[in-house]
Structure 1
Amino acid sequence: MLKKNAVLFLTGGTVYPALEVLSRGRTDISMSIAGGVCLCLIDQICHKKMQNCSLAQRCAAGSGIITGIEFLTGVVVNIVLKMNVWDYSAMPGNILGQVCLPYSLLWFFLTIPALGVCAWFEKFIAQNSRLSRKL
């Protein structure tokens, strides 16, 4: 379990800032931490606890997780520490310039591949644990 969470954290902590670099050309270390936390929470909540829910419900929860973590990170990094890493003030449906409706919608759809990553890691770990028991 600990290994899976570490791998998920590192994966989310790599993919999330990479997406940011691809979309806007730069990122911040805080996005690595946020991405790692998001993927671990998506695994625990959307992949495990909500496994019997519809994909839309799981994606809505994933969007809420990512938006919430992004908001908390933004409040600390942008407002409290005044690092000005991002500002969504010009975006529709923004809250304090830290999160906005268009990105929350994007996070809804980004939850689909995140769930796939969680499922793949779970299957990979299950297969490897069976192999190690045979040895």
Structure 2
Amino acid sequence: MHLRRNNFLKYTFLFLIGGFAYGGVEILYRGFSHISMMVAGGISFILIGLLNEIYSWKMALISQMVLSAGIITAVEFLVGLVVNVWLKLNVWDYSNLPYNIMGQVCLIYTNVWFFLSLPAILLDDYLRYFLLKEEKPRYKIF
């Protein structure tokens, strides 16, 4: 029971960090955000952090960035389906952009997520190391 509580607190902490960071980036870029983007950011941040838990530091940083960009795009798509299609809140619409999928994501932005995933990966790794006393990060670029 104690272990589950610690995991709950750990993932709640990481969710909030990721959510506020994602929302902050969106506010810097667009001037505003929506709570659904904070949810997408929190989920994405947790999933990005799980890459090292699954692959145990064997995965190259570039590969982590590629997978992270895909994770963020997929999470944003799923959140978009719920928020914009199912709930009809119309928070965002990428229909006017090329390479969009159902207006919920624009694959051009996946390139942006690739580059923004680097600070997310590093933030997750060092939060886990310094605050959560997990394994020290180590990286290989390729």
Q: After TM superposition, is the score higher than 0.5?
A: yes
Give the aligned partner of residue 90 of structure 1: 96
Identity %: 44
Within-5 A mapping of 1:21-32? 21-32=27-38
Structure with higher helix content? 1
Alpha-carbon RMSD across the aligned residues, in angstroms, is: 1.4
TM-score of the aligned structures, taking structure 1 as reference length = 0.87
Partner of 1:48: 53
The total of aligned residue pairs comes to: 126
* Amino acid in structure 2 at the alignment position of 1:5: Y
Q: Name whichever of 49-58 and 13-22 sits farther off.
A: 49-58
Distance 1:80 1:5 in 2: 27
Out of 120, 125, 133, the residue aligned to residue 114 of structure 1 is 120
Instruction: Quote how far apart the aligned CAs of 1:16 are.
Output: 0.6
TM-score, structure 2 as length reference? 0.83
Q: Distance in 2 between matches of 1:111 and 1:40?
A: 12
Query: What SS class does the counterpart of residue 126 from structure 1 fall into?
Result: coil
Which consecutive residues of structure 2, in runs of 5 or more, have no partner in the other structure? 1-6, 135-142
**1:3 Cα offset (Å):** 2.9
CA contact (8 A) 1:4 1:121 kept: no
User: What stretches of structure 1 move > 4 A for 4+ residues in a row?
Assistant: none
CA distance in 1, matches of 2:90, 2:8: 34
Distance 1:6 1:95 in 2: 30
- AA aligned opposite 1:90: N
